[in-house]
Structures are given as C-alpha cells and as structure tokens.
Amino acid sequence: MNLKRLPVATISVLAVTGIVTGLQFVYAPLLPSLERAPTALAQHEWWRLITPLFVHADGWRQIAFNFPAILIVGILAERVWGKWRWLGIYFLCGIVGEMAGYAWKPHGAGASVAGAGLLGSLAAWLLWKRGAAPARIGGAVILLGAAVLTLFRDLHGPPILAGALLGFAMVKFDSKKAQHAAAHDLP
C-alpha cells in the first residue's frame, strides 16, 4: 500500500470522531458536555467552538450521512490540498460553522459543517484550476448553493463559503509559488 496516497487526515479525523461519537451513546453526559451550548460558551468554555465537531446530536441519521460524505469529500480534498491543509480547512471551517450554529441553531453538534468547508475548498479549486466547463459549473453551483444556504440561515452555508475563500487563497498561493519557481529556473 502506498502510504503517500493514504488519506491520513481524513481517516484519522473520522476515526477520532467515530470513537467520540460512539462514546456518547454509552456515556450519556458526553454529548451535553461537548455540544453547542450558548450558556456554556458564555461561561468561557471555548472548546465548545470545536468539540461539537466530534459528536452528533441528531443520532444515527446524522451519522449515516456525515461519515460517508466526509469520507468521500475528505479523500478528494486531501488529494488536492494534502493532509496539513486539509486539517486547517476542516477545523477552521468547522469553527465557522459552529459560530453560525451559535447564531442560528444554538444547540446541536455534528461534523457536517467541517465537511462543508472541505466541499467549499473543492468548489474553489474546480473554478480556478480545472479548465473544463462542467467542472467550473459544478464549482459555481456549489458556491451558489452555499450563498442560498447562508441566506436561509443554514449553518452549512458559511463554512462552504469560508472553505472556498481558503481554497482560492491556496490556489493563488500555489500559482504564485510555481511562477516564482519557474522564473528562477530560467538561465
């Protein structure tokens, strides 16, 4: 097995999330101690900006959607961005999603907002890097959908848009780095 191709970040985050989510079913106080709770955040429990990504308040239906979605999108995003950037996108966008959650749906938890950020980063990559029209259209549709979700106060819209901003920034950075390297290779 080629370890360079193994999606280490995707598998690791899903494994930790799976373990913590599984524990919430056998240790009842775990979910309330990790989910979004405005009163707890007001009492300086800052970890509640990130810990809701590791538990799932809506049960098996939410888990059955989030895990395969993050696995599929996560593998693609990790191939595009690498594991360290993947982790940055996942957790930064997850925090953006949790902040939207505190504003629009104050109680809850789930990893879908972090996965949404990965999707947004891929949309940006499709728009910027891929020349084919269907890829660009797909990226544009994802971002248009994120704008609509945000307009309707769905907490998945902001992390998709944040992921897109990160994706555009990384593509631009990579493009400038490649131009710089090419300029220095000239005689």
Mean pLDDT of all residues belonging to the chain = 93
The set of residues, in sequence order, having a beta carbon less than 8 Å from that of 124 and lying 6+ positions away, is 139, 143, 163, 164, 165, 166, 167, 168, 171
Helix (H, G, I), strand (E, B) or coil at 28: coil
Between residues 186 and 89, the one the model is more confident about: 89
Q: How far is CA 135 from the centre of its chain?
A: 20
pLDDT number for residue 160: 98
Contact 90, 58 (CB under 8 A): no
Rounded distance, CA 76 to CA 185, Å? 31
SS3 label, residue 23: helix
Predicted confidence (pLDDT) at residue 131 exceeds the cutoff of 90: no
Asked if the model's pLDDT at residue 121 lies above 70, the reply is: yes
- Show Cβ contacts of residue 70 under 8 Å, excluding neighbours closer than 6 positions: 10, 13, 14, 111, 112, 114, 115, 118
Domains of the chain: 8-185 (1.20.1540.10)
Distance CA 123, CA 108 (A): 27
Q: pLDDT digits over 5-55, tens only? A: 899 999 999 999 999 999 999 999 999 999 999 999 999 999 999 999 999
